[in-house]
Structure 1
Amino acid sequence: MISLALAASLAAAPAPRAATSAETVVHIPRTDALQGVTAFLDRAGQSAALLRPVVWYAELHPFLSFDLSQPATLTRLGIDPTGPLTVSLRGGGRISCTRLTDPKVFQQKAAEMLVTASGKAEATPTTSGGVTTVNVLRESGGRAGYALKGQEACAFSSASGGFVDDGQGQVLLKEASRLVSKAPKSDARLAQLPGSVYVLLPGRGMVVGVDGSATELRLEGTATQLPLPPFQASGTSPYGAMKPEGLLFSRARVAPAGVSQAVGSVTASIQQVCPSCPPAQVASVARAVAEHLTGHVLMVVDGVRSRPNLRTLEGRFFAPRQAFAAEVTDAAAVKSALAPLAKFPGAKATEDGYALDVKGGTLFVRLKGRQLVVGNDEAVSRSLLAALPQAGAKLPHAVEYTVDPKRLASGLNQVSLMDVVADKQLAGLFAMGLELGPLLSRSERISGWLDSTTGGAHRFSTTWTLPATP
């Protein structure tokens, strides 16, 4: 009964008034139901300024300011503090739709801000077909305004560069007018996901529900275009009894249809750091091995090497100290399939496999019983082999993973400013280390799961946990 009531309440939640061609949509079904998320962000914001609620509150409306944790700030603007709020981000600007308790108050407050922005004496509204609109040219460039009908208002601002009207303001005004004139269509995906905030990325087929508490931020979503192979829930995994350790620990079962794709991804990475390895033979070994894989895989990243060279492909490949394990159906057949490695440049036979010297380091390929282990660090490879259990255990999801946030923070700190100067692609990691590093170092764990669904889609969940006490 509880689950049915929850499903009914979610289905009845106000649908998003999302603009067409929106690149990102943020939908809050009830603006007074964010206590859990804001509690987490309040605490996280003490270590990462970007996560402070006051920072993202400013992005929720094109020209009005309010604090969702203080309903009175919404009421003073004529906005319903219990109503929905939907923000649509487009290349030409953004639109924010809200429900009103007092349209006249909203118009008055909006006029005050728009007059200030335009430098004119007044922002004159016009009414047509029951829709009241305002559209002003801002002194700073671009346009801003709103469309209002009944209790619904959609405000907009264009991201025009310079002071020449590029027509985006009129496009946004037309879209805002359409949004207030029609009831929004319900989105069944939202009803299937828990959350007090929803983020939609239409171009990627992704919807994420966000909820939380003072110690947890929980994300659960669906996506149709993740660059991942199909997975299948396995029930019993040969790695199910292992204790998660390291920066990243992930175990999964790849569906038979996705084994070749998964092996191909690993093979491509190996070929990049070993350009002298004969491509045809590398592909032949990969195909032969793939034929004998059950789909059960394990990935362990112990950490990031100190002061790695991140400015080259091989440097980035060897920066994380990692190893993969894969269960095989026939150890003798896999051993035979790996035999050609002995003739590769820089290859040396070992007691249980091969060591392959390549530019930037050494690759290790080992076979122990029905477990094939490939790694770029000898110690991590040996440790993984030693930790493999004799018996498996059940797992509820096709993919499960855990991240040690402290080790992640340490790894991000290895990206230097000079790395960014040499390769701008590293700028995101550098910025992440600066902004989130302090919070990660004070976090307890990050964990999650993923399952494949029909039509090549995936459903996933992530939980970011802070210590019980600050």
Structure 2
Amino acid sequence: MLPLVLAASLAAAPAPRAATASGIVVHIPRLDALQGVTAFLDRAGQHAALMRPVVWYAELHPFLSLDPSQPDTLTRMGIDPAGPMTVSLRANGRVSCARLTDPKVFQEKAAAMLVSAGGKPEVKPTTSGGVTTVSLPRESGGQAGYALKGQEACAFATTGGGSVDDGQGQVMLKETSRLVGRAPKADARLARLPGVLYVLLPERGMVVGMDGSATELRLEGTATQLPLPPFQASGASPYGAMKPEGMLFSRARVAPAGVSQAVGTVRASIQQACPRCPPAEMFSVASAVSERLTGNVLVVVDNVGQRPNLRTPEGRFFAPRQAVAAEVTDAAAMKSALAPLAKFPGAKALEDGYALDVKGGTLFVRLKGRQLVVGNDEAVVRSLQATLPQEGAKLPHSVDFTVDPKRLASGLNQVSLMDVVSDQQLAGIFAVGLELGPLLARSEHISGWLDSVSGGTHRFSTTWTLPASP
């Protein structure tokens, strides 16, 4: 029975005609099935130029202009709107494979574009072993061409070379000839993911399926190299009944083997903000805390403070007003594990824990019953303590999260141009805020979940929702 099930799964799996050594592969099983994704991008593109379909669809082919939302633009190029397309991005260029309805029309359109781009008077195809190939230099540098066999065509363009042939054109021509010369292998990973478009990052072990509608963009994928700890299976959480609030609200059930890693990440962040804190003692406290946690964790980021100083480690630590709650196995034992904090520089004993004055602000460590709460803002810590429920509830996934896009847009706007000039690491955040900020400010919510599966793999899902009416 198992072989039959496996065979059926592989038969239904999409089969990307992907080039070897690709950094990114985009596979579309049917070009005419992208209407939902296009509808979302159309609406999103009204507030973020980067999201406009024309920006993305211009990357589908190395030298032909295609628009899957208008099937006529495909048929005019001899490409089958109901067929698949695979785009492979390599260090030396791009390859795009598609099924054809009319090979002659495709060759005519391709020849016209290649001649105009290369300054050559004509294109002379070569046929060998049933594969027709073309390769021409481009005036802008590099080579472009295609390989065609039957109804399958793979086109390419190299990225470099200038006016001198660097040999990459022949490398790409050989690769495209190989791709059209054999049937692609089915990828069972894609069959297990919903989507009308798939993005694969082979070097990172990541596969993402994408689908959508006018109001939703849905992503679901798997990854083998996420920098995350292992998680427990879905189950009861003391935070399961809580209503999501804040810029970020996330609940997780960390597996016992991953608790130390999770606590270590928090410790490293605190150590950076508190260089005066003795590292050996910090490590000792973190280890003792790890041994007394169940793995149930809640992270709340309320917002980003107004005009934070992002040019220093402590400024970046205190910019997001946040708190973390973690369920403990034994309150008395946890209190003992935290006792060494009293001797840390700037430490003050509180009725239920400690306040640690560090450069840039104050860190709070409080214990309420079987709940350890750590945060960098007193109001957020107190609010979280006050809303912790008496009873928990079951979570359907190991991790879930909710993002308030409006608060996120406001937070991204706190990164200034001068911050980027002072610290180039902030350039990416600044660019995201500049490009996506207006769209986030007009979005409804972003939510998702994550589960651990066998072999160190994580499965995840994200939904980006826009308002019902523009």
What interval of TM-score do these two structures reach, taking the shorter chain for normalisation?
over 0.9
Give the aligned partner of residue 274 of structure 1.
274
Amino acid at match of 2:291: E
Give the aligned partner of residue 335 of structure 2.
335
Contact 2:233 2:397 in 1 (8 A): yes
CA drift of 1:324 comes to 0.2
Contact 2:9 2:188 in 1 (8 A): no
Q: Deviations over 1:207-247 (max 9, x none)?
A: 00000111100000000000000001241110001000000
Give the aligned partner of residue 453 of structure 2.
453
Give the aligned partner of residue 323 of structure 2.
323
Q: Deviations over 1:140-174 (max 9, x none)?
A: 10110000011100000000053222211111111
CA RMSD of aligned residues (A): 1.4
Give the aligned partner of residue 405 of structure 2.
405
Amino acid at match of 2:413: N
Alignment of 1:22-421 (within 5 A): 22-421=22-421
Contact 2:62 2:156 in 1 (8 A): yes
Alignment of 1:458-469 (within 5 A): 458-469=458-469
Q: Name the CA distance, whole Å, in 2 between partners of 1:79 and 1:399.
A: 42
Classify the secondary structure of the residue corresponding to 2:135: strand
Q: Deviations over 1:256-275 (max 9, x none)?
A: 11011101111111111111
Q: Which range moved further: 293-302 or 169-178?
A: 169-178
Q: What are the ranges of 5 or more consecutive residues in structure 1 without an aligned counterpart?
A: none
CA drift of 1:276 comes to 1.2
Amino acid at match of 2:454: T
Q: Name the CA distance, whole Å, in 2 between partners of 1:149 and 1:302.
A: 57
Q: Name the CA distance, whole Å, in 2 between partners of 1:249 and 1:168.
A: 48
Identity across aligned pairs (percent)?
82
Classify the secondary structure of the residue corresponding to 1:32: helix
Amino acid at match of 1:307: R
Contact 2:13 2:187 in 1 (8 A): no
Q: Name the CA distance, whole Å, in 2 between partners of 1:151 and 1:96.
A: 14
Q: Name the CA distance, whole Å, in 2 between partners of 1:161 and 1:344.
A: 60
Q: Name the CA distance, whole Å, in 2 between partners of 1:461 and 1:183.
A: 31
Classify the secondary structure of the residue corresponding to 2:22: coil
Amino acid at match of 1:395: L
Contact 1:211 1:219 in 2 (8 A): yes
Classify the secondary structure of the residue corresponding to 1:443: coil
Q: What are the ranges of 5 or more consecutive residues in structure 2 without an aligned counterpart?
A: none
Tell me the matched-pair count.
466
CA drift of 1:14 comes to 4.2
The TM-score normalised by the length of structure 2 is 0.97
Q: Deviations over 1:280-315 (max 9, x none)?
A: 111111111111100000000000010011111111
Q: Name the CA distance, whole Å, in 2 between partners of 1:274 and 1:442.
A: 38
Distance of aligned partners of 1:40 and 1:9 in 2 relative to their CA distance in 1, 3 Å threshold: farther
Q: Deviations over 1:159-215 (max 9, x none)?
A: 005322221111111111100001101111000000000000000000000001111
Q: Name the CA distance, whole Å, in 1 between partners of 2:129 and 2:334.
A: 73
Contact 1:206 1:223 in 2 (8 A): yes
Q: Name the CA distance, whole Å, in 2 between partners of 1:32 and 1:82.
A: 6
Q: Name the CA distance, whole Å, in 1 between partners of 2:81 and 2:234.
A: 46
Give the aligned partner of residue 431 of structure 2.
431
Q: Deviations over 1:356-408 (max 9, x none)?
A: 01111111000000000000111000100001000001110000000000000
Classify the secondary structure of the residue corresponding to 1:199: strand
